[in-house]
Structure 1
């Protein structure tokens, strides 16, 4: 880790932040949580990790063990800074599980959810840092009072407190849209192609043939066909799905059990 202060980015005239938000962890007690956060940063496109009063991060210890591929860059490049440095150099977003409930209290209110925060930060041009607190008590009221805004993850009122690593992972996942270019996201089945209308009409014809073959009550067939159309219409089946359904329905219409008798 290095404690060199972060250099200010030059003005470029861009509409978006110069870099994805930095991530700061204040007074983490467990090296493993620091490693987990570094890994989540690597997953979702974040690279700048700032540590306030961190535990010792032994390259052979659990921080590096939990970091996955982030042990190669995010974790070794983490910088130790003061809380004052965060407040003085960044637009700061404090995270908390416990929020005040109304506008009569201004330490933990108003607050946004991580998904709402992602949309907001798209329009913030200043260097930004998302600040996570301690495993047990999070950020104190005194610390939160010095930060620019508050973010909280919606959770069960019965037990809203998340593990530090979990909270950071959820938050960074929601903020991924401002850290990752769409072309850099690995997703299976990115495009789902709906079957064309002639294929769907053949499917409906086959359903109608099956209803006739099984002597479905004639007075109910129109209503049943309308229901099947609506069902498939909402499902947006692919060509392969329609082809498979057609095969099954044809086989059922042919009544293979009759061939055995």
Structure 2
């Protein structure tokens, strides 16, 4: 049998309770030789989109692994637990869109199963802690070399739940996109390919696009934070290839008064609210 030396673990469980340790313990009891990489357990509670972004932007830099992700506001309902095969590893978690971007980063879903085999689960499955009783034991068995089809019946990959694509609005003069993530440093990553910045010159206007009177900030195009003076706003392509905004020595999220999901408009000087727009 083949298997994996590593399991990665991404959740919204936080660090003040025993939830993460309980899941580690299940893995250690079933597959003691397998090592666990904790990606993060500080995904905002129930924020599936944020968890999906973090996982998708991380898995390509990890060793081949079984990737467990649990951001699961539908736990205990009729949402499915699934395991997905990809060319770059396996993913285990709820069928709520959380796993799909990471699966695509690993080469796309080649196989999917629903986690229904009772022999693979805890003897008693809590309706509110599937991370411990469903996903951790399944991941441990897969990492130890058990075949994916034994976890449960096959699913059509096309039937898996997918998160809606973030809406991006584009004109000749401006681009508007939602904030995908705000990291620990207050850097603002947009749900926008970094190449979108190519339409702008050396400077561009930036403002929150929420319908209220806009406070327009000027950003300089750059490659890194030090390309602007301390306190300056830089628009750059971040390490994930996304368009991002940062303040040298400060927090772009605070300057722009945005958080994940808020919309930001980037525009050429003097182009703020043109009358017509299109949706990409």
TM-score interval, normalised by the smaller of the two chains? under 0.3
Q: Higher RCO, 1 or 2 (CA under 8 Å, sep at least 6)?
A: 1
Select the structure that is richer in helix.
1
Select the structure that is richer in strand.
2
* TM-score, scaled relative to structure 1: 0.22
